[in-house]
Amino acid sequence: MKKIIIFLLIGLLTACKNEKPKVVKTPVKPKTVYEYGFNLNNYKVIHDTIKSGENFSEILDRNHVEYPKVLEIVNKIRDTFNVRKIKSGTPYTILASKDSLEKAEVFIYKPSKVRYTVVNFKDSIISAYNGKKKVKTVIETASGIIKNSLSEAMDKQGLSSYLTSKMADDIYAWTIDFSRLQKNDKFKLIYEQLYINDTIPVGIGEIKAAYFEHSGEPFYAFKYLADSTLNIPDYFDDKATNLRRQFLKMPVKFSRITSRYNLRRRIAYYGNKIRPHKGTDFAAPIGTPIMSTASGTVIAASYTRGNGKYVKIRHNSTYSTQYLHMSRRAVKVGQVVKQGQVIGYIGMTGNTSGPHVCYRFWKNGRQVDPLKQKLPAAKPMKKEIKPSYYKFIEPLKKQLDSIKYSN
């Protein structure tokens, strides 16, 4: 009897060992994703790009919104969002219902990585609003040794071309001739890199400080607001000297010189005859803003057959400037303008074979070559501000000096 009981117990224990435990699976709850003010889990999310020739009505029609509803949407949002101005190549997102109809309820237009417009027609109340994604600013540094050109040194490190143009056309425009750089010239930068979603770069903010070593000579630059009345920051060196001149180097950003001041230039437009060219031509696409190179008063805003639409500005008793071939003027006679203010836009009016601005420069009533003038420096920093300035740049200078050069 005891043997039978022991045998039954052994059998029972063996059966328990062979029996696999039951695994209870807990369903994984999808991660809640909020974007543009919506819980995306509640919608079918459709990402697309506006095709060439496609319009707002066609996009909504394809996503099951009928024409009467589209017309109502367009009329309700016209003050916030003009659907006729949507551009091909621009991405958009549609939030559609999750039912069998998959009908669009929200349209999100994204003209840039940061800016967007939301059109919400889910309910009877139709609304539209503009928004911006949160941008994170991170202070970053860069450095390099030049072998051929500044742009090449920047490109090899994958740095933004904006940094190149900012250094050459703004910070050091009147201090260093970037067309005559020497091999082994060096640079260092402290600048703001802008990100969305912490990892996606969306542009460059301010260049806070820079260092350039040209032919063995050091050039520091620190961005500082020295005049709270004008509220325009400038770049100053380590001795508080303003690096800017009274005049900007050129009236158009990111342009190139296509024709210089030349009293014996042969002009193709006039049959290759020799005619004095008393201006400097800066080429740029039609519609590019033209800036006043210095503060002053508009003394002419008119049109002639040769000059096209133009603006002329008197800066003081010594200097005046003129800007020709505009597509559109942005100032009127008698208006006071500041340095860098937009006064018109690049065009092809008057006698011209391509889009550009002809920049003319007067000194004591005589037209001269602006690129050969030793122009006065901008307004110097006030003595009482200098102690604050030196305190401000001290940590930046130490940081610049500690940056190692990247080949």
pLDDT tens digits for the chain (407 residues)?
A: 555 555 555 555 555 555 556 666 666 677 888 899 899 999 999 999 999 999 999 999 999 999 999 999 999 999 999 999 999 999 999 999 999 999 999 999 999 999 999 999 998 899 999 999 999 999 999 999 999 889 999 998 889 989 998 898 789 887 887 878 889 999 999 999 999 988 899 999 999 999 999 989 999 999 999 887 767 788 999 999 998 888 888 899 877 788 887 766 666 655 666 677 888 899 999 999 999 998 899 999 999 999 999 999 999 889 999 999 999 999 999 999 988 899 999 999 998 888 999 999 999 999 999 888 887 777 788 999 999 999 999 999 999 999 999 76
Residues contacting 78, CB < 8 A, separation 6+: none
pLDDT attached to residue 374: 81
Tokens of 115: 């800016």
pLDDT of residue 165: 86
- Which residues have a Cβ under 8 Å from the Cβ of 237 and sit 6 or more positions away? 219, 220, 221, 222, 243
DSSP β-bridge partners for residue 35: 38
Q: Cα dist. 20→15, 24, 62, 345 in Å? A: 10, 13, 53, 80
> d(Cα 332, Cα 320) in Å, to the nearest integer?
16
Q: ∠ CA(375), CA(253), CA(235), 5° rounding? A: 55
pTM: predicted TM-score of the whole model, two decimal places: 0.67
pLDDT of residue 256: 78
Give the position of tokens 């394809």.
62
Specify whether the CB–CB gap between 293 and 250 falls below 8 A: yes
- Distance (Å, rounded) from C-alpha 159 to C-alpha 253? 19
Q: Euclidean distance between the first and final Cα of the chain, in Å?
A: 91
pLDDT score for 24? 61
Three state DSSP letters for the chain: CHHHHHHHHHHHHHHHHHCCCCCCCCCCCCCCCEECCEEHHHCEEEEEECCCCCCHHHHHHHCCCCHHHHHHHHHHHCCCCCHHHCCCCCEEEEEECCCCCCCEEEEEECCCCCEEEEEECCCCCCEEEEEECCEEEEEEEEEEECCCCHHHHHHHCCCCHHHHHHHHHHHCCCCCCHHHCCCCCEEEEEEEEEEECCCEEEEEEEEEEEEEEECCEEEEEEEECCCCCCCCCEEECCCCCECCECCCCCCCCCCEEEECCEEEEEEHHHCCEEEEECCEEEECCCCCEEECCCCEEEEEEEEECCCEEEEEEECCCCEEEEEEEEEEECCCCCCEECCCCEEEEEECCCCCCCCEEEEEEEECCEEECHHHCCCCECCCCCHHHHHHHHHHHHHHHHHHHHCCCCC
Given the structure tokens 């040769």, which residue do they identify?
306
Q: Give the separation between CA 387 and CA 140, rounded to whole angstroms.
A: 27
- Distance (Å, rounded) from C-alpha 282 to C-alpha 260? 9
């559109």: which residue's tokens?
328
The Cα 81–Cα 119 span in angstroms is: 8
